[in-house]
Amino acid sequence: MSSDFDQIINRDNTRAIKLEFRQRNFGNADVLPLWVADMDFAAPPAVQEALLNRFKHPIYGYTNRPQPFFDAITGWLQRRFNWDVPSSWVDFSPGVVPNLGLAVQAFTNPGDGVVIQPPVYPPFFGVVTDFGRKVIENPLIEAEDGYKIDFEHFEKVTAHPDTKLFLLCHPHNPVGRVWNDDELRQMGEICIKNNVIIISDEIHCDLTLFGHVHKPLATLSSEISNITITCMAPSKTFNLAGFSTSYMIAENPNLLQGIRSLIHGYHLHMGNTFGPLALEAAYNQSEAWLEDLKRYLEGNVNLVADFVNVNMPEVIVRKPEATYLLWMDFREWGLESSELKQFMIQKAGLGLNDGPTFGTQGKGFQRMNVASPRSIIQQALNQLYEARKTLK
């Protein structure tokens, strides 16, 4: 049965980083691009309609974000997560990653420690080191049934007096974990005890798969909520990353004001004309589209997992609990990191994210973005399988 998501949409000449940076990142402009975490799917029809209607008006000047913008967000949070959030807890930000960098500046001083949990999305390192802070790694434990948190080590590193901030990735990119209530509560309570502020990146929260349920960290208790800023956006969910429109949620007004003051200080608060309209149309009118998308992504994940299990059983692919990103373990091939990277580019013709960019724990791994039409994912698998035959 065909799906709208099966449609192959030509993204050439659209200035898409996913395509146009292939030469720069891979030295080959022809690799199949399954790296940058956006989707090769059209945005929901309601979003397209809202934007087209606004584009018809020929003036694109400064605009504001009136109450309907905040109502769309709070309505979404209530429906999707049973989280009753007053509008006063919510504020605009130009992006989740910028929010992380702003939080590092707002709540730490140069030389302070910021805890992250690698292997993790590469900007988690950059937003710390770029501002002269110290990355404190709490590496995830790789277990037979998926990645776990090393709580003993987490307790130790957060207890250090120079550790002021914890950047949580939830759901986790790239390992695909949706942290459960017990894990979230334990992390939160340790941070309360050690006076560590939490910035919870929950940008993939809407993309839970295979029956998994996302619980926003701040909903675990009022005490945890008091030390937490939650960062969310419609960008991954509805393929709207180009609109640079996200938001932050904090019950503690001092935390919210800490980042808000920097956003206003850098004059980032204006945003753009179209982002809020896209958010409102996505949240208010596109839930059915999202459910269809999630079923399609599950099909793509199953395709990759089944194909690899049959044809390349030495490669480990765990089905993610959320995200459209697969963390693929090629360590049994015995290749050095540089050799594996070049194999993917030169032999398989694939542009994937190189594991070591997520931390030293990523050696021997590659991250594949499966948010593309199924025929493209099948093509990638076929290319990988044929290339594998060249291994000695």
CATH of the domain at 325: 3.90.1150.10
Asked if 253 and 111 sit in the same domain, the reply is yes
**Is 178 in the same domain as 95?**
yes
Range(s) of the domain holding residue 78: 61-285
For residue 268, pLDDT over 70 is answered with yes
In a domain, 51, yes or no: no
Residues 67, 70, 72, 75, CA torsion sign: negative
Average pLDDT over residues 185-198: 98
- Is the domain of 278 the same as that of 311? no
Helix, strand, coil fractions of the chain, as percent rounded to 5: 45, 15, 40
56 domain residue, yes or no:
no
Read off the pLDDT of residues 311-356 as tens digits, 9 standing for 90 and up. Answer: 999 999 999 999 999 999 999 999 999 999 999 999 999 999 999 9
Strand residues in the chain grouped as ranges (E): 32-33, 90-93, 113-116, 134-137, 141-143, 146-148, 163-169, 197-201, 228-232, 246-249, 316-317, 325-329, 350-351, 353-354, 365-369
**Mean pLDDT, to the nearest integer, of 140-161?**
96
pLDDT tens per residue across span 202-248: 999 999 999 999 999 999 999 999 999 999 999 999 999 999 999 99
Q: What is the DSSP letter of 9?
A: -
Question: Do residue 160 and residue 296 come from a single domain?
Answer: no
Residue 188 reports pLDDT greater than 70: yes
Q: Please name which of 39, 96, 43, 37 lies closest in space to residue 282, comparing C-alpha atoms.
A: 43
pLDDT average, residue stretch 42-63: 97
70 with 170, same domain: the answer is yes
Cβ contact 135:128 at 8 Å: yes
User: Do the Cβ atoms of 246 and 275 come closer than 8 Å?
Assistant: no
Region class of 91: left (phi > 0), else alpha (psi between -120 and 50), else beta: beta
The tally of domains found in the chain comes to 2
* pLDDT surpasses 80 at 47: yes
Q: Which of 239, 261, 285 is the last residue of a domain?
A: 285
Q: pLDDT grade, residue 144 (50/70/90)?
A: confident
In this prediction, residue 13 carries a pLDDT of 95
User: Does any domain span residue 214?
Assistant: yes
| Mean pLDDT, the chain, integer | 97
User: Using DSSP, how many helices (H) and how many strands (E) does the chain show?
Assistant: 15, 15
Query: What pLDDT score does 1 carry?
Result: 67
* Pair 18, 109 in one domain: no
Does one domain contain both 139 and 215? yes
347 lies in a domain? yes
Query: What mean pLDDT do residues 283-295 have?
Result: 98
Q: Is 40 inside any structural domain? A: yes
Residue 49 falls within a domain, yes or no?
Answer: no
Q: Is residue 33 part of a domain?
A: yes
CATH code for position 108 = 3.40.640.10
For 291-302, how does the pLDDT look when each residue is reduced to its tens digit (9 = 90+)?
A: 999 999 999 999
| Domain annotation covers residue 359 | yes
How do residues 78-122 score in pLDDT, each as one tens digit?
Answer: 999 999 999 999 999 999 999 999 999 999 999 999 999 999 999
Residues 368 and 258 in one domain: no
Based on the domain organization, do 94 and 242 belong to the same domain?
A: yes
Let me know how long the chain is. 392
pLDDT of 46 strictly over 80: yes
Does 217 lie in the same domain as 147? Answer: yes
On the question of a cis peptide bond just before residue 119, with omega within 30 degrees of 0, the verdict is yes
Q: Answer with the one of 285, 303, 322 that is the final residue of a domain.
A: 285
Q: Do 281 and 307 sit in the same domain of this protein? A: no
Asked whether residue 119 falls in the same domain as residue 262, the answer is yes
Q: Answer whether 151's CB lies under 8 Å from 189's CB.
A: no
Domain stops at, among 285, 303, 332: 285
C-beta of residue 175 within 8 angstroms of C-beta of residue 146: yes
State the Cα–Cα distance between residues 4 and 85, nearest whole angstrom: 34
pLDDT for res 2: 74
